[in-house]
Amino acid sequence: MGFAQAFPVAYINKHIPFLCTSKKKLCVCTAKFKSDNDPLLLAATASASLRYQETLRPEPLFLDPYAGCFVADNSPKDVTQDLHPYCLATKFIDDKLLSTARLIDGLKQLVLLTDGMDTRPYRLKWPTSTIIFDVSPECVFKVAAEKLKGVGAKMPKGCIFYHIPLESSDIEQAMQFKGYNGRRPSIWALQGFPVMTLADFEEVLSMISSLAMKGTLFVGELPSSLPDIDIENKFNTSKWVDKLFMSKGFRVEMIKYEDCASGRYNNLLFIAEQLLHSDDQMELWRREFQRVENEGDEDGFEEL
């Protein structure tokens, strides 16, 4: 599939050392560092700083009234006039999530795969009856949650929020324990999530394929640091990404990147659609099929 025209975006390079620990269902990348030098925390704070700077611009793409609580008091407060590519990507994802959520009747499930400082649950106007699951590193989320509480951040009325630690031994089970239902509509987004290897991202796709209903939207950014991504050759990259997503049951559309004043955004922005049925859907149909078969056997026995 080809590249769709969208915002010109540029790349924020975050080469961070990780220790990858294999967990059930999903390969979890956890950093073994002191809290004041945790690369996960530093990366999340850098992204929050960009959202804060965007909020201060005279004509911002979006407002993040909570990003400032993550930024150090001695950080520069000068307002930059240029749009930063990260913020363009953030706005694109925001719009896709909100527009899709508003089309879903009844209970809505939103799953955010994040860096732990994602403020979307608080800064966006989610429809009533939206359940938000944030899957992110616990060490970062704890810091963020404390700061958000300090500034009085609140969820929209009628919405529920759950945090699922990235370090969970079984993320699927943890989500289901909190009420996630694979027979109900859901929306998935990935931005800032610590995916460092191709195997990591394949595990993410497998997890979503198991949990998400057919037709589910998955939008986000695929890090360009993953092996086999040739940013300079868009045609080869497009074919490779198509094959990667389709192998897990997703039809994907990539977003075209244009040069931007502040550089190039080499992460791959994508929109994907789940083509398979979730495990919960398949189990429901298996039970229904078994019930019909059993009823047929009973009718046949009565006729004999």
For the ranges 118-127, 190-199, 242-251, the lowest mean pLDDT is seen at 190-199
| Mean pLDDT to the nearest integer, 265-279 | 89
Q: Are 134 and 119 in contact (CB under 8 A)?
A: no
> For position 36, what pLDDT does the model report?
64
For the chain, how many structural domains are there in total? 1
CATH number for the domain harbouring residue 62? 3.40.50.150
149/141 Cα distance (integer angstroms): 12
pLDDT for position 10: 35
Percent of the chain whose pLDDT exceeds 70:
76
At 31 the pLDDT is 42
Least Cα distance to 229 among 242, 243, 240 occurs for 240
Strand ranges (E), 94-152: 108-113, 130-136
Asked if 102 and 65 touch (Cβ cutoff 8 Å), the reply is no
How confident is residue 304, by pLDDT bands cut at 50, 70 and 90? Answer: very low
- Averaged pLDDT for residues 257-281: 76
pLDDT, tens digit, 9 for 90 and up, residues 129-168: 999 999 999 999 999 999 999 999 999 999 999 999 999 9
Phi, psi of 72 (to 5 degrees): -65, 145
Task: Look up the pTM and report it.
Answer: 0.84
pLDDT score of 30 more than 50: no
Contact predicate 220/190, CB 8 Å: yes
Beta-strand runs (E) in 43-198: 108-113, 130-136, 160-165, 186-190
Mean predicted lDDT score pLDDT of the chain: 83
Residue 279 has pLDDT above 80, yes or no: yes
Average pLDDT over residues 260-268: 58
Of 113, 85, 89, which Cα lies nearest the Cα of 28? 113
252 DSSP β-pair partners: 272
Cα 89 to Cα 17, 86, 139, 226, distances in angstroms: 24, 5, 25, 19
Checking if the pLDDT of 291 tops 50, the result is yes
Domain that holds residue 259: 3-303
Residue 290's pLDDT is: 81
Q: Residue for token digits 């694979």? A: 182
Q: What is the pLDDT of residue 15?
A: 38
Looking at residue 178, its pLDDT comes to 96
